[in-house]
C-alpha cells in the first residue's frame, strides 16, 4: 500500500485511511503524538489572528449532529467532517467519526485526506492538557475523569505527561467503560481509582475532566461539588442542548474558551447570558490576558473543539506520514492536460461510449 | 481496482476517484448523466422543505475561494468541497476542483466519497437547463454562450437535450477556449457560430448563458444587449465581488434564484438592494409561483450553485457506481470491535510501539 513520497506538482492527494493513521500513532507512540500535536496547537494558537475563522456548521437530527469545521491561513486551508451520535455505541458504531482535508490556499488543490477519529481524540486531549497546564494549580496531581468512553485514555495520558497528573478518579454510568479504561491504562504510571458516582470522583480532585456523550442538557457537575482552586475541563458540553456543568459552576468560576463565537452557541456557556464574561485561551497563552490569578480561584476550560486544533493535527499527520513513508497518493480530483478541457477527461476514460443514451433523455423530456 | 458491491453494515466508504467518475460518465454517456442528474435535481427541488439548508461557507484568499456546501434531509447528509481559482489555468490546474461525501444521517457514517469536478459541471448544466426549460420561451433554439471554458460543453449538451437549443453563438476572451469548444462539439447536432464579442454573441439569441471565471466585478451583459423575451442564465456570478450582469439587466427582468439567502451574498443579486424581489425556482417547479408570464418578459436565472444539486449528483453517482460495479471500499474512518475502545485501534495496528517517546514530551514540557 505504501509508495515513496516525493514533491508533487500534480493535484494528487495523499490519503491516510484509518489503518494508516493507527500505524502512524503506533509507530511514533501515543504520548509522542499527543505531545507533538499539543506543541503545534500551542504554536498555531499564538498566531491566532492569522487565521480566517468561523463557527462550525452543524446539521442536527433527532439522534445526532454532523459538523464541518473549516479554517485557513495564508497558505493552508483545512476542514474536518465530524459527527456526534451518542446512540451509535448501541449498534457497535463509534459515537464520533471524523476525517479531514488539508488544501493549498493558492490553488484550492486538496493535498491531504486523512481519517481524523483517532487524531480528534489526540488533539482534544492535547488541547485540554495545554489549557490545564496554563489554568490549573501548578501542583495538580489528582484528576477526576467523568465519562470513560472512547476518548478517556487520551485525556489520561495527556494530563499525565503535560500536567503531571498521577492519580485518576474514574466514573462512568457504564461500568464496562470504566473497566476498559482501567485495563487500557495498566502499567502506564497512573493510579486509577474506580468511583461509584460523579460526586465521589470529584472529591479531592485538583482537576475535573467531564467527557460524556449524551445529547441532552445534563448536569454532571453541580455547584456543591466545587472546591476552591479546582480546574474544570468540560469537554462533553459541545453542542446546542448538550451541557455538563450547572450554570452555578460557571458563575463561580473564571471561564476560558477556544473561540468565543462558537462556544457561545455550543459550550456549557450556552446557558449563560450573552454578556457573561469569558477569556479566549490564546490570549492567555500569548500573555495578553491573565489565566489563574490565585490558588483559590476556580477555573473552567469550556472546551468544544475548534478548527485550528484539527488544522494542527492534520499538519502533524502530514509530516509524520512523509517521515515514516506511510500513505498513498490518490486522484481525488482530475489531473487535466488542458485545464480548460474538462470535457476531454471523459473521452480519455478507458471505455468511452460517445452516443448519448436516448432512453434517459426521453425520461427527462417526458 | 473494482470489487463486487454488497450491502454494508460496516463504516466502510465507497470511494470514486477521478478515473472512476470519468468511467461512469463515459459508460453511461454524458447526455444520459446530464438528463439523469436533472431528473434527480427536479425531484429533490420538489421536496425543498424537507432539507436542512444553509448558505455555503466560504474562505476567501487573494486569488480564490474554497467553499463547503452541506445539506441534509431525514436520511442523507451531503457536502461538497469546491474551490474557485481563476488564475489556476495559467499554471495548468483547473479553476474549479471538487469532491464530496454522502453520509448516513442516522449514524454519521460516510457512505460515499467521490470526485465532483466533472459532476459539478454536469449538475450545473442540468440545473441551468432545468431552469431554462421553465423560464425561457418555449421555442428557444439559439443560445449565446459567453465563456467557453471547462464547463461550456456541458451547458451546450444540456440545453440541446433539455431545452431544444440547436444553434450556439460562442464567445470567449480566450480564442483558444472557443476553438476547443468547437472541436469538442463537432458532430453533436449543434451549429456553433464563433463570435468576436459578447455583443455579437448575444445578438438574436433566445437564451444567453454567461459562464465566465474572473473573480472581479465584471459587466459581461449590459442593458443595451437585452432584447424582449430573452432568458439569461447567469452562471459565473457566484461569489462576493464576482458578477456578470449589469444591475440594469436585473432591474429590467424577473429574477429567479436557487436559495435566496445564498444568492443574496454570492449572485449577481449582490448588487441589488435587500428588498429587490426574486423568486426561488423550486416554487415555480412546484406550481407555487409563476415563471414566465409573457413572450416579451425578460427572465434571469441568477445561478450560484446550491448544495441540493450536489446531493442529487452524489446520489446519481452512488446508484451508477453500484449498477456498473465501479469503485472501491475504503476505511476512511475506523472500524472498531468495541466502539468505546478507540484506544485499542492503536494496539491493533501492525507495528505498535508502546513506550512513550520521552524526547518529544521533553520538547513540549520545555
Say yes or no for a CB contact (<8 Å) between B22 and A52.
Answer: no
For residue A152, give the chain B residue with the closest CA: B343
pLDDT at A353: 40
CA B363 from chain center: how many Å?
47
Cα–Cα dist B250/B137, whole Å: 18
Q: Does A261 lie in the same domain as A184?
A: yes
Give the rounded distance of the alpha carbon of A106 from its chain centre: 26
Q: Classify residue B346: in a domain, yes or no.
A: no
State the Cα–Cα distance between residues B225 and A287, nearest whole angstrom. 60
Helices B358-365, A30-46: axis angle to 10 degrees equals 30
| Total domain count, chain B | 2
Question: What is the reported pTM?
Answer: 0.91
Q: Which of B85, B76, B145 is nearest to B112 (CA)?
A: B76
Cross-chain Cβ contact B66/A108 below 8 Å: yes
The answer to whether residue B95 is domain-embedded is yes
pLDDT by residue (tens digit) across B228-284? 999 999 998 788 888 999 999 999 999 999 999 999 999 999 999 999 999 999 999
The answer to whether residues B181 and B277 belong to one domain is yes
Say if residue A214 is in the same domain as residue A162: yes
In chain A, % of residues over pLDDT 90: 84
A-to-B residue pairs, Cβ atoms closer than 8 angstroms: 351
Condensed to tens digits (0 to 9), the pLDDT of residues B85-112 reads 999 989 889 999 999 999 999 999 999 9
Choosing from B254, B274, B306, the residue where a domain stops is B306
pLDDT category of residue A242 using cuts at 50, 70 and 90: confident
> Are B151 and B113 contained in the same domain?
no
First to last CA, chain A: 48
- Smallest CA–CA distance, residue A356 to chain B, in Å, is 5
Bin A181: left if φ > 0, else alpha if -120 < ψ < 50, else beta: alpha
Give A4 to chain B, closest Cα distance, Å.
19
- A284 within domain boundaries: yes
Q: Which is more confident, A55 or A1?
A: A55
* One domain, residues B253 and B322: no
Asked if the structure places residue B31 within a domain, the reply is yes
Whether the per-residue pLDDT at B173 is higher than 70: the answer is yes
Closest-CA residue in chain B for A74? B61
B134 with B258, same domain? yes
CATH code of the domain in which B218 resides: 3.40.50.720
Q: Decide: B113 and A364 in contact? Cβ < 8 Å.
A: no
Q: For residue A343, is it within any domain?
A: no
Residue A342: inside a domain, yes or no?
no
The tally of CA atoms less than 13 A away on the side-chain side of residue A324 is: 21
What CATH code is carried by the domain that includes residue A58?
Answer: 3.30.1780.10
CB-nearest to B17 from A61, A330, A350 is A330
Pair (A221, A259) in one structural domain? yes
Of A68, A157, A364, the CB nearest to B35: A364
> Residues B298, B319: one domain?
no
For A326-353, write each residue's pLDDT tens digit. Answer: 999 999 999 888 989 999 999 887 544 4
Instruction: Indicate if A143 and A279 belong to the same structural domain.
Output: yes
Burial label, B49 (beta-carbon count in 10 A; 0-12, 13-18, 19+): exposed
**What would the pLDDT profile of A156-178 be if each residue is shown by its tens digit?**
999 999 999 999 999 999 999 99
Q: Which residues contact A163 (CB under 8 A, 6 or more apart)?
A: A129, A132, A133, A136, A140, A143, A207
In a domain, B318, yes or no: yes
Q: Give the pLDDT of residue B91.
A: 87
Same domain for B247 and B100, yes or no, is no
- Residues B112 and B153 occupy one common structural domain: no
Residues of B in contact with A350 (CB under 8 A): 23, 26
Write the residue in A59, A101, A340 that is nearest to B72 by C-beta: A59
- The maximal CA–CA distance of chain B, rounded, in angstroms, is 78
Say if residue B34 is in the same domain as residue B165.
no
CB contact under 8 A, B118 and A77: no
In terms of residue numbers, what domain contains A259? Answer: 129-305
CA dihedral B105, B110, B115, B119 (to 10 degrees): -20
B341 in a structural domain: no
Amino acid at each position: 500500500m505504501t509508495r515513496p513520497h516525493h514533491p508533487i506538482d500534480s493535484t494528487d492527494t495523499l490519503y491516510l485511511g484509518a489503518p494508516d493513521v493507527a500505524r502512524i500513532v503506533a509507530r511514533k507512540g501515543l504520548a509522542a503524538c499527543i505531545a507533538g500535536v499539543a506543541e503545534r496547537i500551542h504554536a498555531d494558537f499564538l498566531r491566532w489572528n492569522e487565521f480566517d475563522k468561523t463557527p462550525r456548521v452543524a446539521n442536527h437530527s433527532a439522534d445526532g449532529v454532523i459538523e464541518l469545521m473549516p479554517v485557513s491561513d495564508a497558505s493552508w486551508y483545512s476542514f474536518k467532517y465530524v459527527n456526534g451520535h451518542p446512540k451509535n455505541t448501541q449498534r457497535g458504531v463509534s459515537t464520533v467519526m471524523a476525517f479531514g482535508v488539508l488544501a493549498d490556499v493558492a490553488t484550492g488543490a486538496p493535498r491531504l485526506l486523512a481519517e481524523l477519529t483517532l487524531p480528534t481524540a489526540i488533539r482534544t486531549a492535547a488541547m485540554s492538557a495545554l489549557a490545564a497546564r496554563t489554568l490549573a494549580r501548578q501542583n495538580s496531581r489528582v484528576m477526576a475523569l467523568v465519562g470513560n468512553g472512547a476518548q478517556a485514555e487520551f485525556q489520561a495520558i495527556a494530563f499525565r505527561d503535560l500536567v503531571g497528573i498521577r492519580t485518576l478518579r474514574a466514573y462512568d454510568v457504564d461500568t464496562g467503560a470504566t473497566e476498559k479504561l482501567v485495563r487500557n491504562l495498566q502499567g502506564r504510571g497512573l493510579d486509577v481509582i474506580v468511583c461509584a458516582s460523579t460526586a465521589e470522583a470529584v472529591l479531592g480532585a485538583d482537576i475535573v475532566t467531564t467527557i460524556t456523550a449524551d445529547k441532552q442538557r445534563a448536569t454532571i457537575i453541580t455547584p456543591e461539588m466545587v472546591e476552591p482552586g479546582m480546574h474544570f475541563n468540560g469537554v462533553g458540553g459541545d453542542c446546542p442542548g448538550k451541557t455538563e456543568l450547572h450554570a452555578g459552576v460557571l458563575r463561580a468560576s473564571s471561564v476560558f474558551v477556544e473561540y468565543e463565537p462558537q462556544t457561545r452557541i455550543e459550550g456549557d456557556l450556552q446557558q449563560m447570558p450573552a454578556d457573561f464574561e469569558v477569556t479566549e485561551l490564546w490570549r492567555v497563552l500569548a500573555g495578553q490576558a491573565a489565566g489563574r490569578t490565585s490558588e483559590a480561584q476556580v477555573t473552567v476550560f469550556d472546551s468544544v473543539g475548534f478548527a485550528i486544533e484539527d488544522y494542527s493535527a492534520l499538519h502533524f499527520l502530514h509530516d509524520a506520514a512523509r517521515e515514516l513513508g506511510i500513505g498513498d497518493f490518490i486522484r481525488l480530483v482530475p489531473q487535466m492536460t488542458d485545464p480548460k478541457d474538462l470535457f476531454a477527461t471523459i473521452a480519455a476514460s478507458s471505455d468511452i461510449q460517445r452516443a448519448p443514451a436516448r432512453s434517459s433523455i426521453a425520461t427527462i423530456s417526458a
